[in-house]
Amino acid sequence: MSAATPAERPSSTEPDGVIAPHHERPEGWLTRLGLLLRGALIGLAEIVPGVSGGTIALIVGVYETLIRSAGHLVRAGVHGVRALLGREGARHEATHHARQVRWGAVLPIGIGMLAAVVAGAAVLEPVLEEHPVESRAVFAGLILASLVVPARMVGGRWRAPEIVVGLLAAAAAFVLTGLPPAAERDPSLPLVALAAAFAVCALVLPGVSGSFLLLTVGLYEATLGAVNDRDLVYLGVFVLGAILGLGLFVAGLQWLLEHRHRITLVVMTGLMAGSLRALWPWQDDDRTLLAPSGDVGLVLLLVAAGAAVVVALLVVEARHERRHATTAEHVADVLDPD
């Protein structure tokens, strides 16, 4: 692949000390407070459909730290299991990868994310229940603007076969998101784990929203409710699914982006576009699309406002382009924990 090696890639270190390189440990309470705040921003992004936690992680300069550490953590777990099975050398490998995790950065970022998710869920759940049309309008604007990220990462003009594939992916997503949702307040635990496994890609791939994925399968409000109700069974299954998904998704996505990056991103763009059906503001409980009604002007204004938020984030990210290039090759390289 054409991506630079970690040694060749520009360090995320800045003159003002935004964050240390991946192999260095941040020192001082001020640095840890900054990491807490960065984690809180990522956590807030994670609960808003259309805003990518990966994009926020890029903007605040902790993307590579999180993803490389996650890769080491997953491999430490895999080798730990192999060590329990008596495989020779597995314990040494597990210890090696565990030591490569930047715990001094990952822990405060994780705490900040968790605090923001808990606080944000308490605010969002009643808003979704009381203002469903307006909420979907804002989310639709967020997703519309977010489509530019995977489309841009394809690189160059789309070829005719790629356009066809993208349209087919969009059509498939349109049909699937039109299916009546499962009982949102009481989903099956295997479904929760599966949804979490896919939603975790929001942190891995900038431009993809994990909350949007939950929304399209009818689990978004259920997950917010579980956070607010402190449903430990639901949340435990969700976390387990996310961990398993991270272990599988990191390796799979790295291979796809390295060997099939154009078609992978074409399909992803199509799926996101087709899934916008789930965010049509006017629909009933069975996801049947309805004609516009009520204050249409306000709804359109909210769509524009949602799109403006993502455009602003992309402008900020563009200013970081030299340090955090959002390309398929860059993401594939970061997914490799060396």
> Residue 7 pLDDT > 60, yes or no?
no
Q: Across residues 118-125, what is the average pLDDT? A: 88
Task: Look at residue 5 in the predicted model and tell me its pLDDT.
Answer: 37
> pLDDT of 173-194, one tens digit each?
888 777 776 545 567 888 899 8
Number of Cβ atoms within 10 Å of the Cβ of 144: 19
Is the Cβ–Cβ distance between 172 and 312 less than 8 Å? Answer: no
Q: In the 3-class helix/strand/coil scheme, how is 203-272 assigned residue by residue? A: HHCCCCCHHHHHHHCCCHHHHHHHHHHCCHHHHHHHHHHHHHHHHHHHHHHHHHHHHCHHHHHHHHHHHH
> Residue 207 pLDDT > 70, yes or no?
no
Q: What single DSSP character describes residue 306?
A: H
Task: Look at residue 27 in the predicted model and tell me its pLDDT.
Answer: 53
- φ and ψ at 208, to 5 degrees? -105, 135
Is the Cβ–Cβ distance between 299 and 132 less than 8 Å? Answer: no
Q: Please state, in angstroms and rounded to a whole number, the distance separating the CA atoms of residues 112 and 37.
A: 6
Task: Look at residue 104 in the predicted model and tell me its pLDDT.
Answer: 87
Lowest-confidence segment of 20-29, 56-65, 144-153, 258-267 by average pLDDT: 20-29
Task: Look at residue 243 in the predicted model and tell me its pLDDT.
Answer: 84
Q: How confident is the model at residue 4 (pLDDT cuts 50, 70, 90)?
A: very low
Q: Please state, in angstroms and rounded to a whole number, the distance separating the CA atoms of residues 253 and 257.
A: 6
Which range among 20-24, 35-39, 203-207 has the greatest average pLDDT? 35-39
- CA 309 to chain CA mean position, Å: 17
Hey, what amino acid is at 308? A
Query: In angstroms, what is the C-alpha Rg of the chain?
Result: 20
> pLDDT of 45-68, one tens digit each?
888 776 777 777 877 778 778 878
Q: Across residues 215-234, what is the average pLDDT? A: 88
Q: Which of 73, 62, 49 is nearest to 19 (CA)?
A: 62
Task: Look at residue 296 in the predicted model and tell me its pLDDT.
Answer: 92
> Residue 324 pLDDT > 80, yes or no?
no
Q: What is the mean pLDDT of the chain?
A: 79
The length of the chain in residues reads 338
> pLDDT of 83-103, one tens digit each?
888 888 888 888 988 888 888
Task: Look at residue 111 in the predicted model and tell me its pLDDT.
Answer: 93
Task: Look at residue 185 in the predicted model and tell me its pLDDT.
Answer: 55
Task: Look at residue 208 in the predicted model and tell me its pLDDT.
Answer: 72
> Residue 122 pLDDT > 80, yes or no?
yes
Lowest-confidence segment of 114-118, 234-238, 316-320 by average pLDDT: 316-320
Q: Across residues 109-124, what is the average pLDDT? A: 90
User: What six digits make up the tokens of 21?
Assistant: 């390189």
Q: How confident is the model at residue 321 (pLDDT cuts 50, 70, 90)?
A: low
Residue whose entry in the numeric block shows the structure tokens 């890609």: 201
Give Cα separations from 9 to 50, 74, 85, 188, 334 (angstroms).
Answer: 29, 23, 38, 44, 10
Q: Please state, in angstroms and rounded to a whole number, the distance separating the CA atoms of residues 291 and 281.
A: 10
Q: How confident is the model at residue 8 (pLDDT cuts 50, 70, 90)?
A: very low
